[in-house]
Structure 1
């Protein structure tokens, strides 16, 4: 059974043999001579980190079109790096599955009933995945990884501070985000620079996870105090979005991060705590959540609305959208309609329940993946998730042997991914560039810790640089 699991998760995949025999990999490196003689390319990875930093620094504040231009520049730079590669940067199982998913999305685009619209979505998807490819290469350097995380955390702090300002001084509600018949109809939902509280909540979830990690990864009292400030401010702002999906994501982040912490410290714990720490953790979290729901009125009202069914207008809208989306999936179950919201907007009106329930997306990333790329694409994406989390846990165990503090960033990335997935089960702001770039950043961070199977025995984790 263990062998089957290793094969399924590609844990023992001989990538070095694949590279030596792959026609695709022979495209890597034809411009090596130019790179060796180029003065500018001496700082190739640093330039890549600069482009990624620009995306993180500007995404919450500028139009999506400008972010698209930066993603295009990043994609072009990745192509240049690949063609001039003189190090033969190792591929990972995660990268291969991302490539497979892109291939499935490409076939889905070619088979789409609305090819032109699907091609628009395919172009956006390609830019995101090339951005991931650049990030997974750059963040293999612990120094650049730490730099990019620090840039994002500081930008997220600015976004959160402005969100808290909206809470204290008021902000115009740009849309009806709360059921007007509920007791929370007059409650301010902060949205900061992003214009949408659900989008803001998703944007802040990785910041919450990484600021938790920074508490352990950053050295010195001042950096740790800054990390604690970031965690408190980001969490407060996220809570004040009153995004139910965001709250689900937050609970998942805290739970997963604490579980990974228990795994990390378990080798130092007495036998009693090794046995009972996880049950005590689960009981404590359940108690805190129960008390919060019981005694904090806004939280009780918002959590209660999750179980109100069609009695809540937001729930009712989503249920009607999901009903139509399921019909869309039944109509094209194999490869879907093609990627992107443009294709979705072309096909959805043919299946919508009534003109009152128009939608821009499926309001669930699981349904969105199924409707865009069919069950083939959804299965591939789920496989990617399993392989990614498996690699994360494997590498965490490896780093624990050497007591390497870089492991805390790995914990933050795993928790951040699960938080975004929890949020995305009931929303699709995951597809917005402010969030999607962060999602692939979390995946890239996990991929950056990969060591080929032949190096797993007796190699020091810092040797990957």
Structure 2
């Protein structure tokens, strides 16, 4: 209990907005797993959410642009600034990096610019209207800020599809495995590893740190744990009917 309290206090006072969003998503997935929500329901909800965004995209953008709260030491204002895409320099710079990644992909759509090259190549792809007070033309200050758009610019459409496939397959296999596992150590271990992955899947929409060992080791370690548990607890084979 003391460890959980310290972890919560550390997370709150880290003032890392992407981590807060990721934790909220992990809590939602925890409820989904405990309630045993079928995978097809999750897919249906995802499709419905995507369709709703496409229909109401302009209204959503207008609502977000009304938010003027910027990241600060005030906790409530810092939380509110998560959706500020009109004046918060950090959020605007993230959009600048995303747009630069898309322009890089448009120039080399199939194979991209090469692994690890984004930070050295993106500067000329910045549009003047996207630049912020923290924009730079020198190969420093981070990367594409997305585990999906980063591979898209560096390895082309195949790179992004591989990342999407990794996430999708891991989610589907985990949900199926969790539903057939009995209560016990393996089930708890699977949930812990998968929820850790969920936090990074969500975090990876806003940042990319898999090129750093501090993020790469737990990410691939948790993925390996899911694979190990899936191999350890195979699905029962259906008996073929002999006619």
Q: Distance in 2 between matches of 1:258 and 1:431?
A: 31
* Preserved CA contact (<8 Å) 1:245 1:424: no
Is 1:320 paired with 2:96? Answer: yes
Counterpart Cα distance in 1 of 2:115 and 2:8: 33
Work out which of the residue numbers 236, 255, 276 in structure 1 matches 2:28: 255
SS of equivalent to 1:338? coil
Give the TM-score, by structure 2 length: 0.72
Paired residues in the alignment total 194
Q: CA deviation at 1:319?
A: 2.1
Higher relative contact order (CA 8 A, sep 6+): 1
**Could you tell me which of 273, 276, 300 is aligned with 2:76?**
300
Aligned pairs for 1:21-420 (under 5 A) are: 228-263=1-36, 298-340=74-116, 343-353=117-127, 357-358=135-136, 359-400=141-182, 403-420=183-200
Quickly say closer, same or farther: Cα 1:372–1:244, change in 2 above 3 A.
same
Give the aligned partner of residue 43 of structure 2.
Answer: none
Higher fraction of helix: 1
Q: CA RMSD in A?
A: 2.4
Counterpart of 1:288?
A: none
Cα gap change, 1:257 to 1:423, in 2 (>3 Å) = same
1:5-51 Cα deviation digits (max 9, x unpaired): xxxxxxxxxxxxxxxxxxxxxxxxxxxxxxxxxxxxxxxxxxxxxxx
How far apart, in 2, do the equivalents of 1:299 and 1:346 lie?
A: 35
State the 1:370 CA deviation: 0.8
1:437: Cα distance to partner?
A: 0.9
Unmatched tracts of structure 2, length 5 or more: 38-72, 238-243
Is the Cα contact below 8 Å between 2:111 and 2:156 reproduced in 1? yes
TM (norm. structure 1) is: 0.39
Q: Determine whether 1:445 maps to 2:225.
A: yes
Residues 148 and 163 in structure 2, CA contact (< 8 A), matched pair in contact too: no
- For the pair shown, the structure with the greater C-alpha radius of gyration is 1
* Residues 260, 298 of structure 1: alpha-carbon distance in 2 compared, 3 angstrom cutoff: farther
| Residue pair 1:417, 1:439 contacting (<8 A) in 2 also | yes
Residue 419 (structure 1) shift: 0.8
Residues 324 and 352 in structure 1, CA contact (< 8 A), matched pair in contact too: yes
Q: Are 1:431 and 2:225 counterparts?
A: no
Separation (CA, whole Å) in 2 of partners of 1:433 and 1:237: 21
Given that residues 118 and 150 in structure 2 are in contact (C-alpha distance below 8 angstroms), is that contact kept between their aligned partners in structure 1?
A: no
